[in-house]
Every structure is written in structure tokens, then in C-alpha cells.
Amino acid sequence: MIRLIAIPNPRAGQAFIDYMASRDIDIQMMPEGEGLFALWLVDEQHQIEAEAELNTFLNNPTARQYQSASWDMAESRTARFYYPREGLIASLKQNSGPFTLSIMIVCIVAYAGLMLGFGNDVFSLLHFPATEEQQWQIWRLFTHALLHFSAMHIVFNLLWWWVLGGKIEKQCGSAKLVQLFLLTSLFSGLGQYAFEGPAFGGMSGVVYALLGYLWLMGALAPQRGLSIETAYVGFMLLWLVVGFFEPFGMAIANMAHLFGLISGCAIGVFDAKFSRAARHS
């Protein structure tokens, strides 16, 4: 299936679906949240025709042929709108990419190891370098992001990683998300280590970096199609500040959050203003 567009008016979407059905092209509508409904083309071989018809429709959605199609197709469908429901796995795949999902799986496996009695082994393998010998174990500069120490910790981080990382990977490709993960896990880890030592872990530094990246890209290069809702930015910035007070006695890697946010913003500024794509936009 190919996602054509997301629109706020499901009735208009149904009119387009009916019109395309009269031409034997199957379009399905699925809710995306925040009042938007996505139109999905079922058969990829009709992509060019469907996109051309969609542009025509958007220019004049109340045209007579669309209203006529809705009347003609009324008997072949139910009177109420029907939106196919996706399974959890399908939804995860649809809104992310292979690297997003791979990191989620590795984090879950690492967390399972901690919970099943292999905590010392898992932590010893993945934590940030703490000794002179470990300084040459380069993987540790990145794998600290894969460690999580509670159910709330991993659920919170992986949910944001899926939302933010999936958006970036879908729009910019896996290579960009890999680059962001490596650079921002490095800088967030270095920042946390410099102030608090090596006993930390979690994806939150990277999550804050992705937040900063999308925030600055949306502000400085909106034509690139990357952005994040202001409400999300406000919530995460508020949590960043609250974290320094360690509510409920929680041990929070605040410097990882801060350095992650700074590194993500810096990369966002670079990509928006100085990258090859920016120079050609």
C-alpha cells in the first residue's frame, strides 16, 4: 500500500474513494490521529493515475463527478464510514523503518536480559567506558543508549524513539537516522559521563536529540517536510527542566538529556543551512 495524503475531512476523502472505485482503483482511508485521515492506494501499479487524480480532486473537491460517484457507489458500501484497523505489528512497520525497529528490538532484548537475572553481564557489556581498558572498546560510546532499567524507562523512551526516529527514517532514510543515533548517543553519553560518571543508560539522550533535530528542521527548513508539533516540544522541554529536580526520587540522566538536545539542534541547524540538500533547495 502507498500513502497518498492525509486530510482533515473524512467525507471529502470518501468522495475521492468513491470516485476512484468507479474507475476500479481501490483507495482505503485510515485515521492517523490529531483529526487527520490518510488515504492509502492498495495497488501500486495505479500510483501515477491515483496521484494525478488526487491533484485534480484537491483543486476542486466539490466537482460534480465526485458527488455523482458517491451516489453511484452508495449501494455498494455501507452508509457509515469504514476505516480498516491495523494490527500492532503492521502499525509499527508502517510508521517506522528497519533501523528504528532494529534498535527497539535490541533494547527490548537487553532489558529482558536485565530482568531475567543477567543484569551484571548485560550492563558490563554495554555501559559507557569506565576504565582505561574500556576506553578502547569503542562500541561502549554508543551502546549505553540500549540500556534501560525499568518498565516505565523503556516504554517512555521507545515510544518517543518510534515516533521521532520513525518519522525521520521514513522521510530521510535509514542512513540519516543511523548518523543521528551514533552522533547523538556519543555526545549525550560524553556529557553525562563528564558530570555524573559512567553509571547510566537509556535512549533518552538520543530522543531529546531527535526532538531538537525535528524542531530546528521544521523552523529553519520547512520545505524538507520534517517538523514536530509545538505541544510535543513544550512537553519535552518541561520534562527536561523537571528532571533536574529528580521528582519522586527518580535517578534521571539529566546531562544526557541536555547534551542530546543540544547535539540534535546543532545537527538540525547544519542540515537546514549547510547540507547538500539545503544548498539545492
Hey, which residues are catalytic here? 204, 257
Sort residue 87 into left (φ over 0), alpha (ψ -120 to 50) or beta. Answer: beta
Strands 2-7 vs 27-33: parallel, antiparallel or unpaired: unpaired
Nearest to 5 by CA among 55, 66, 59: 55
Could you tell me the three cell numbers for 181?
Answer: 543515533
Contact 200, 153 (CB under 8 A): no
Contacts 24+ apart (CB under 8 A), 21-24: 21/69, 21/73, 21/76, 22/69, 22/72, 22/73, 23/49, 23/53
Cα dihedral 124, 129, 133, 137 sign: positive
Alpha helices in 127-273 (DSSP H): 140-143, 151-160, 166-172, 174-196, 204-220, 230-243, 254-273
Interatomic CA distance for residues 9 and 78, integer angstroms: 18
For residue 271 the three cell numbers come to 542540515
